[in-house]
């Protein structure tokens, strides 16, 4: 089941895609009067009764009217995260080798590396990356699998990790490499406005066997740049959730970006960074495609 946030007649709504992925079953029609407009309400409020109603609608067991997908604007499934994004650095074997070749002072950490990424607003598929090339002309892409936490937890053992997951999405950890290197850490270079994209949907965890093994790819202007699989994780999802929850509470709606594979612009020789007009596509086949275009942003211009 895929949860989608969309705009219809100037109003944001939440729904689920039908099995053919040609239409949307709006939650406002599945639960009349419920007033669901943000994904956080779904993540926090999906009890057993509500879930059964969703599955009945998804399986065509109700007469819920559908909205054709082509008649709506698809929005980021979560526009304003509850907290900063929780990120995992250098979490693919191939990307670790790539980073070692691209950065003279790179040293592999003995344990998983975690950092935060600030995102005031998350871009959806089809929205423009407002590139601050005046601050840094080394604009890079990073396709990642995002894990959406579904319930509050602390000190979660790895064997129970799946119980705390709501679903999965595609994440583009857009990065400014000069800022990243100048400040000696990841936060500053990854937290500019519009440098976080996610979508086009959230795939419910029930759709994928656990632990998750999915292909992860990116394309720039149609050229494949990244092509890997989450089975190459250095720290798998159970390990990540176990680590992050040790002494720290995870809450519904928290987003964990699980790291990117080899093939980023920084890792090419010579490096290939994004520029004005470039289109970047992030793809994870069970979820879909996240598409964004680079547009120059000029401070002070509206």
pLDDT in tens, 31-59: 887 777 899 999 998 555 557 888 899 99
For residue 53, what pLDDT is reported? Answer: 84
For residue 172, what pLDDT is reported? Answer: 99
**Does residue 302 sit within a domain?**
no
Whether residues 62 and 107 share a domain: the answer is no
- Average pLDDT value for the chain: 92
Whether residues 129 and 23 share a domain: the answer is no
Whether residues 207 and 160 share a domain: the answer is yes
pLDDT at position 201 over 90: yes
**Does residue 203 sit within a domain?**
yes
- Total of domains in the chain: 2
3-class secondary-structure state, position 61: coil
Whether residues 55 and 177 share a domain: the answer is no
Per-residue model confidence as pLDDT tens digits over 121-161: 999 999 999 999 999 999 999 999 999 999 999 999 999 99
Spell out the residues 6+ positions from residue 220 whose beta carbon is closer than 8 angstroms to its own. Answer: 141, 265, 272, 274, 278, 279, 280, 281
**Does residue 229 sit within a domain?**
yes
Whether residues 180 and 208 share a domain: the answer is yes
**Does residue 80 sit within a domain?**
no
**Does residue 301 sit within a domain?**
no
Percent of the chain with pLDDT over 90: 79
**In terms of C-beta density within 10 A (0-12 exposed, 13-18 middle, 19 or more buried), how is residue 202 classed?**
buried
Whether residues 166 and 190 share a domain: the answer is yes
CA geometry: angle 293, 295, 300, nearest 5 deg: 150
- Say how far apart CA 246 and CA 263 lie, in whole Å: 32
Whether residues 208 and 231 share a domain: the answer is yes
Which of 75, 101, 118 corresponds to the end of one domain? Answer: 75
pLDDT at position 104 over 60: no
**Does residue 182 sit within a domain?**
yes
| 102: Cα within 13 Å, side-chain hemisphere | 20
Whether residues 35 and 110 share a domain: the answer is no
pLDDT at position 290 over 90: yes
Which of 24, 45, 75 corresponds to the end of one domain? Answer: 75
pLDDT at position 96 over 90: no
**Does residue 212 sit within a domain?**
yes
Whether residues 37 and 125 share a domain: the answer is no
CB 17, CB 24: distance < 8 Å: yes
Q: How confident is the model at residue 165 (pLDDT cuts 50, 70, 90)?
A: very high
Which of 24, 47, 75 corresponds to the end of one domain? Answer: 75
pLDDT at position 220 over 80: yes
Spell out the residues 6+ positions from residue 62 whose beta carbon is closer than 8 angstroms to its own. Answer: 30, 53, 56
Strand ranges across the sheet with 215-220: 128-131, 288-296, 279-284, 215-220, 223-229
CATH number at residue 197: 3.90.850.10
Whether residues 24 and 115 share a domain: the answer is no
Tokens for 276?
């004005």
Per the structure, the complete domain to which residue 90 belongs is given by 85-296
Whether residues 61 and 195 share a domain: the answer is no
Tokens for 258?
């699980």
Q: What average pLDDT does range 50-74 have in this prediction?
A: 90
- Say how far apart CA 201 and CA 287 lie, in whole Å: 7
Any idea which of 25-34, 73-82, 250-259 has the lowest mean pLDDT?
Answer: 25-34
Whether residues 220 and 119 share a domain: the answer is yes
Alpha-helical regions (H) of the chain: 27-30, 39-45, 48-58, 93-102, 177-182, 187-190, 237-244
């Amino acid at each position: 089941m895929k949860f989608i946030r969309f705009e219809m007649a100037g109003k944001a709504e939440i729904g689920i895609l039908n099995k053919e992925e040609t239409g949307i079953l709006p939650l406002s029609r599945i639960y009349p009067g419920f007033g669901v407009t943000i994904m956080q309400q779904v993540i926090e409020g999906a009890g057993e009764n509500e879930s059964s109603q969703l599955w009945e609608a998804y399986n065509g067991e109700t007469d819920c009217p559908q909205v054709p997908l082509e008649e709506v604007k698809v929005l980021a499934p979560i526009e304003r995260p509850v907290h900063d994004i929780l990120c995992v650095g250098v979490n693919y074997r191939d990307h670790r080798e790539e980073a070692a070749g691209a950065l003279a002072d790179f040293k592999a950490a003995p344990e998983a590396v975690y950092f935060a990424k600030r995102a005031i607003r998350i871009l959806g598929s089809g929205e423009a990356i407002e590139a601050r090339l005046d601050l840094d002309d080394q604009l890079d892409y990073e396709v990642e699998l995002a894990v959406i936490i579904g319930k509050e937890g602390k000190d979660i053992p790895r064997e129970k990790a799946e119980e705390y997951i709501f679903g999965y999405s595609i994440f583009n950890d857009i990065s400014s490499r000069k800022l990243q290197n100048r400040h000696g850490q990841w936060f500053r270079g990854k937290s500019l406005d519009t440098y976080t994209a996610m979508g086009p949907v959230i795939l419910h965890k029930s759709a994928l066997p656990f632990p998750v093994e999915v292909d992860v790819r990116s394309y720039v202007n149609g050229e494949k740049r990244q092509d890997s699989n989450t089975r190459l994780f250095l720290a798998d999802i159970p390990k990540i959730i176990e680590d992050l929850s040790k002494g720290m509470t995870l809450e519904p709606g928290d987003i964990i970006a699980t790291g990117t594979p080899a093939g980023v612009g920084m890792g090419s020789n010579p490096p290939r960074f994004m520029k004005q007009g470039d289109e970047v596509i992030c793809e994870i086949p069970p979820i879909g495609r996240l598409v964004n275009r680079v547009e120059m942003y000029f401070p002070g211009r509206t």
